Structure 1
C-alpha cells in the first residue's frame, strides 16, 4: 500500500487510510505501508506538521496493491504541477488500484486517469470537478465511487470508508468489521454526502430519473435548470416533472433549484474572493440584483453582509465587525 505525499497535503487524507490498513494487520491482514514523496524528502502538510517519507518515486520498484492519492487545500495549484501529475501517472502504472481522498480526485482528473469514469469528491467541490473536467462523470452525493481500478472518495474522513471497503475486498468482511470496531467508525456510513448539503432537506427519492435531475442541479447549479430544460433532459413532460417534484421533493422545481443555488452562492462567498457578478453567474442567478433578492428573501441579509459576517468569526476585532450591503 503506497501513499503519495507532497507539500500542502492534507494530513488526515494520509493518516486516515494508513490507520485503516495498519490496524487491519492486527487482525490478519498483510499490508506493507509506504509513504512516497517525489524526492524521498519529508513534506510539510497543510496542518503545518512534518511528514516523513519512506522512499522517493524513483525507488518504487515493486507493484502496490493500493495507491492512495490524498488531497490538499491548494488543489488549484497542484493540478498545474506537471511534475506531480507525471509522478501520479508513473505510480498508477505500478498499482493494481488507485484511490483518491477528497480533492485528490482533481489530481487524478488532471493526470487524465478519470476520463470517462464516475468519480466522487468533497460535496463542496463537486461542481468544480465537473466543470473543470467535463469528461469525468461526477457523483456529488457518493461517499466513495469505484470505476474499474480507480476509486475516489469524498471529504477527508471518507478516505476511511473507502479504505475499509478495500480491506473487506482483500481480506473479508470480518476483518473490515474488526477494524471499524477498533477505530470506532461506521463499517458502512449511513447516507451519502447529502446529509451535509441542501439535499438533506429532501426525503429519499425513489424515482431514478428524478434523482438524476437533482444530481444535475447539485453538480452544476449555474446551468439551465428551468422546468422546461429538465423535462427535455429527462424526456418527459413539464407536467410530469412538476408532479414528481411535488410528490417526492415536496416543492416546485424552481424553488428547489433556487435553494441549491443559494447554498452554492453561500459557499463561494464564505470561501472565495470572487466579485458578486462572478458569484451570481457561477451559481445561476445571472445578475447581482437577482442574487441580492434571493439572499434577502431567504436569509434576511444581502450577499455583501453575508460575506462580511461569515468570512470571519470577528475574534480579535477591536470593535463591531462592519458589514456592507451590495
Structure 2
C-alpha cells in the first residue's frame, strides 16, 4: 500500500525565474522526501507546473521542462503552490492577467501560496497579498513599496509565513523556507535531512540578520546598520541626524565611520545609494522617471534628471536607450 505523502508541492517557475532559489528549494525537498538518497517522492511530492506544456526559460537561459498544466491535475490534492519569480519585477507583475485565474482557483481549493523572489509582485498585482505581511529582497523593497503602498513589508526578513500567504526574499533563503515548511508538515528531523550534503551548516529563521549586511566590529555594525536603514528609506525625508540617532551614535561619529570605510560622508553615501538605485531601475524596468523619482524621494523627474546627469554624465532617457554604461 502506497504511503500518502505528508506534503504535496506544485512548483511554478515564472518566465526568467532565478535558478538559485529554485534549485535550493527543490533539492531540499528531494533530500527530505526519502529515507535514503534515492530521490523517491515518498514523504513529500512535487510537480513542476506551467500554464502551457513545454519549457520555461530561467534568467540564465537554462530551460526547465513543464511536467503538468493546471488542466491535468486537481489543485485541491496539493498543499502548496510555490511561485519562483522572474528577474524583472515589473514584468513579473505584468503577468497577472495570465496567472490570476489559476492563483484564485488555488486559493479556493485551500492551497497555500508561496512567493519566492519577485513572485511577490505577481501575487500583489493579483490582489492576493492584501492584509498580509510580505518579505521582499532588499534590492526590490523600494520598488515594491512604490507599486503596492498599501501592503506591509516585513523588513529585514528572509521569509514571512503569514497564514495562507508565504513570501521569501529569494536566493539561498529558499532553502531555509523549505526547511521550515517541511518541519511543519513532516517533522523537524526529516526537514533537516540532507543539509550536510548541501554543505549547509545550519538553517536560518525568517528574522536572521545577514552578516553580509551587518559588520562584526562596533564601527562596522554602526555603518552596516545605517546602510540597511538607508536602503529601506531611499524615499525618506529624514536627515543624517535622525539616521545617526537610529543607529545610536552622533552624526559626527557616523560621518567619521563612513569616511573611514566608504571614503565619503554618510549623506554622500545615501545620495549615491539612491542614484545607483535609479540606475538599476532604468535598466531593469520600464517605469517612468517620475515614478522612479518617487521611489527615492526626489521632488520631480526634472530634478532627478539633473542629479543623474551630474553623476553619470548622461540623461536618464539616453542611458536607458543605450542599455547602460559603466558606473
Q: Contact 1:217 / 1:225 at 8 angstroms: preserved in 2? A: no
Q: Contact 2:11 / 2:49 at 8 angstroms: preserved in 1? A: yes
Provide the aligned length of Structure 1 versus Structure 2.
Answer: 287
Number of the residue aligned with 2:259: none
* 4 and 279 in structure 1: CA distance in 2 versus 1, 3 angstrom threshold: closer
In structure 2, which of residues 45, 59, 70 is the aligned counterpart of residue 46 of structure 1? 59
Give the match's secondary structure for 1:21. Answer: helix
Number of the residue aligned with 1:55: 68
Give the match's secondary structure for 1:37. Answer: coil
In structure 2, which of residues 92, 99, 106 is the aligned counterpart of residue 91 of structure 1? 106
Q: How much does 1:168 deviate?
A: 1.7
Which consecutive residues of structure 2, in runs of 5 or more, have no partner in the other structure?
1-8, 37-41, 256-264
Q: Cα RMSD between the aligned structures?
A: 4.0
Q: In the aligned structure 2, how far is the partner of 1:32 from the partner of 1:290?
A: 54
Q: Contact 1:280 / 1:291 at 8 angstroms: preserved in 2? A: no
Alignment of 1:190-229 (within 5 A): 191-193=208-210, 195-196=212-213, 203=221, 218-226=231-239
Q: How much does 1:224 deviate?
A: 2.3
Q: How much does 1:56 deviate?
A: 0.6
TM, length-normalised to structure 2: 0.71
Q: Contact 2:117 / 2:169 at 8 angstroms: preserved in 1? A: yes
Q: In the aligned structure 1, how far is the partner of 2:288 from the partner of 2:68?
A: 44
Q: In the aligned structure 2, how far is the partner of 1:102 from the partner of 1:139?
A: 14
Number of the residue aligned with 1:73: 87
1:303 aligns with 2:312: yes
Give the match's secondary structure for 1:181. Answer: coil
Give the match's secondary structure for 2:313. Answer: helix
Alignment of 1:35-184 (within 5 A): 35-61=48-74, 62-81=76-95, 82-184=97-199
Q: In the aligned structure 2, how far is the partner of 1:68 from the partner of 1:275?
A: 31
Q: In the aligned structure 1, how far is the partner of 2:231 from the partner of 2:159?
A: 17
Residues 4-30 of structure 1 deviation map (CA, whole Å, 9 limit, x = unaligned): 134322233433211111111134861
Q: In the aligned structure 2, how far is the partner of 1:94 from the partner of 1:60?
A: 12
Residues 133-178 of structure 1 deviation map (CA, whole Å, 9 limit, x = unaligned): 1122112411111111211111322211111111122222222222
Q: In the aligned structure 1, how far is the partner of 2:73 from the partner of 2:162?
A: 25
In structure 2, which of residues 246, 249, 252 is the aligned counterpart of residue 247 of structure 1? 249
Residues 92-129 of structure 1 deviation map (CA, whole Å, 9 limit, x = unaligned): 43354221111111111111111121111211101111
Which consecutive residues of structure 1, in runs of 5 or more, have no partner in the other structure?
206-210, 231-240, 296-301, 314-322
Number of the residue aligned with 1:34: 47
Residues 221-273 of structure 1 deviation map (CA, whole Å, 9 limit, x = unaligned): 12322479x7xxxxxxxxxx865544399538xx7576444323213324524
Q: Contact 1:102 / 1:158 at 8 angstroms: preserved in 2? A: no
Number of the residue aligned with 2:277: 267
* 183 and 30 in structure 1: CA distance in 2 versus 1, 3 angstrom threshold: same
Give the match's secondary structure for 1:84. Answer: helix
Q: In the aligned structure 1, how far is the partner of 2:199 from the partner of 2:92?
A: 33
Residues 74-93 of structure 1 deviation map (CA, whole Å, 9 limit, x = unaligned): 33123223022322222343
